[in-house]
Chain A
Amino acid sequence: MAMKLYGDEMSACVARVLLCLHEKNTEFELVPVNLFACHHKLPSFLSMNPFGKVPALQDDDLTLFESRAITAYIAEKHREKGTNLTRHEDSKEAAIVKLWSEVEAHHFNPAISAVIHQLIVVPLQGESPNAAIVEENLENLGKILDVYEERLGKTKYLAGDTYTLADLHHVPYTYYFMKTSHAGLINDRPNVKAWWEDLCSRPAFLKVSPGLTVAPTTN
């Protein structure tokens, strides 16, 4: 039976898993969860993810939430097919993949998701973006991207010479970010820009990006 992924294609966290499924050529069924109708807060969904967030995954008896735990599971279960996303065959290289995955989770994600939350989610709730939060997080993001610029001057991808989960996890929020008026943070850093353009050329990205349909305000 194919894996079931519960969520909506426009969710960055769902897209993170969709990218992984396509990179690993894994069959799956996307079970829609209507976020606007708050179906992710209903008991039927909370029984899969008590934090009430998409995505959740069902694979036979296993139910999983947290998009990065799901991508790690898919990448390991199907380690022998599709793109090698974890460099599992070498423990030190696998650790470097984990290192830059942690950098995404602890440094990049809090800053970029805060900007996207203000510029996309808050207006959908009928409120105005908080300019101070946007400015503070753009400043943090700039400093983080300075570190990335230096790193990507030495390696083609974050964890080395091949594309891994460390790169993949960045894609959905960066895609939304590039739709805002702050895309210069990426475009003004040549190594980061080249890395981003490479990530956008991947077949898995071309399958998933059409689903990332929410548009930010132009602040």
Chain B
Amino acid sequence: MVVKLYGQVTAACPQRVLLCFLEKEIEFEIIHIDLDTLEQKKPEHLLRQPFGQVPAIEDGDFKLFESRAIARYYATKYADQGTNLLGKSLEHRAIVDQWADVETHYFNTLAHPIVINLIIKPRLGEKCDVVLVEELKVKLGVVLDIYNNRLSSNRFLAGEEFTMADLTHMPAMGYLMSITDINQMVKARGSFNRWWEEISDRPSWKKLMVLAGH
């Protein structure tokens, strides 16, 4: 029996889990939850994810939500298969956790509202908060400078190998790079751009983009 992933394949949080499955060579089945019709807010899905979001997984009797917890569970369960996403020693794992937490608390807090305002709201015919977006871009520039500095002396965020710390950024980065201004901000930061070009060249990312219909 393969793990069932409930979500929409174009949405960032399900993509985080899908990238993990692809890196770890884990078989999976996607059960589509239609975000355009708010299927994620309906009672059947709320039983899987009480906050009304995607993704959730079912693996036999085992159920989980929160994409980063799901990714970590599978990266641990299949530690000896595919890419080592979690780090090789206690200290290395702590650095992986550190930069994964940076994604949560510094990167996603800016990337998420930028993507909502510049990509999702136009699709839904809603008005973008232009003032907010400009403020967020300024803050994002400051954060990207810190990343750029880190990546000038480290090939990947946690050191010389690709880990969960890099993977967890990828779905939002995919969306951000489709926004002209942000794309230019990334390209203006040499080491950060180098990192993005390297990780988006990974087979897992290319397979994900095919699954997502690109």
* Residues of A bordering B, CB below 8 Å: 50-51, 61-62, 64-66, 68-70, 72-73, 76-77, 91-92, 94-96, 98-99, 101-103, 105-107, 110, 144, 147, 150-151
**Residue B102 lies at the interface, judged by CB distance under 8 Å to chain A:** yes
* Residues of B bordering A, CB below 8 Å: 50-51, 62, 64-66, 68-70, 72-73, 76-77, 90-91, 93-95, 97-98, 100-102, 104-106, 109, 146, 149-150
Q: Label chain A's interface by main secondary structure.
A: helix
Enumerate 28 A-B pairs (CB-CB under 8 Å) in ascending A order: A51-B102, A51-B106, A51-B146, A62-B91, A64-B98, A65-B98, A66-B98, A68-B97, A69-B97, A69-B98, A69-B100, A69-B101, A72-B94, A73-B93, A91-B76, A92-B62, A95-B64, A95-B69, A95-B76, A96-B64, A98-B68, A98-B73, A99-B65, A103-B51, A103-B66, A147-B50, A150-B50, A151-B50
CB-CB under 8 A from A107, the residues of chain B are 51
Distance (whole angstroms) from the CB of B22 to the closest CB of chain A: 20
Interface centre among B68, B95, B98, B109 (most CB of A within 10 A): B98
By beta carbon, the residue of chain A nearest B79 is A91
- A76-B93, A102-B68, A103-B66 known, 10 other contacts, Cβ within 8 Å: A66-B105, A70-B94, A76-B90, A96-B64, A98-B72, A105-B101, A105-B105, A107-B51, A147-B51, A150-B50
Given contacts A64-B95, A73-B94, contact A101 B101 (CB under 8 A): no
By beta carbon, the residue of chain B nearest A76 is B90
By beta carbon, the residue of chain A nearest B68 is A102
CB-CB under 8 A from B98, the residues of chain A are 64-66, 69
**Contacting pair A68 B101 (CB below 8 A):** yes
**Contacting pair B66 A66 (CB below 8 A):** no
Q: How far is A103 from B146 in the complex, measured between Cα atoms in Å? A: 26
Distance (whole angstroms) from the CB of B90 to the closest CB of chain A: 6
CB-CB under 8 A from B91, the residues of chain A are 61-62
**Contacting pair B69 A66 (CB below 8 A):** no
Q: Looking at the complex, which one of A65, A76, A99, A144 makes contact with B69 (CB distance below 8 Å)? A: A99
**Contacting pair A72 B69 (CB below 8 A):** no
Q: How far is A98 from B68 in the complex, measured between Cα atoms in Å? A: 8
By beta carbon, the residue of chain A nearest B61 is A92
CB-CB under 8 A from A92, the residues of chain B are 62, 73
Distance (whole angstroms) from the CB of A43 to the closest CB of chain B: 13
Q: How far is A207 from B62 in the complex, measured between Cα atoms in Å? A: 37
Q: Looking at the complex, which one of B68, B77, B101, B149 makes contact with A66 (CB distance below 8 Å)? A: B101
By beta carbon, the residue of chain B nearest A68 is B101
By beta carbon, the residue of chain B nearest A62 is B91
**Contacting pair A102 B69 (CB below 8 A):** yes
Q: How far is A203 from B173 in the complex, measured between Cα atoms in Å? A: 43
Distance (whole angstroms) from the CB of A159 to the closest CB of chain B: 11
Q: Looking at the complex, which one of A66, A95, A102 makes contact with B102 (CB distance below 8 Å)? A: A66
CB-CB under 8 A from A102, the residues of chain B are 66, 68-69
Q: How far is A64 from B106 in the complex, measured between Cα atoms in Å? A: 16
Q: How far is A76 from B87 in the complex, measured between Cα atoms in Å? A: 14
Q: How far is A92 from B95 in the complex, measured between Cα atoms in Å? A: 23
CB-CB under 8 A from B109, the residues of chain A are 110
Q: How far is A103 from B100 in the complex, measured between Cα atoms in Å? A: 15
**Contacting pair B69 A101 (CB below 8 A):** yes
CB-CB under 8 A from B90, the residues of chain A are 73, 76-77
Q: Looking at the complex, which one of A50, A68, A94, A110 makes contact with B76 (CB distance below 8 Å)? A: A94
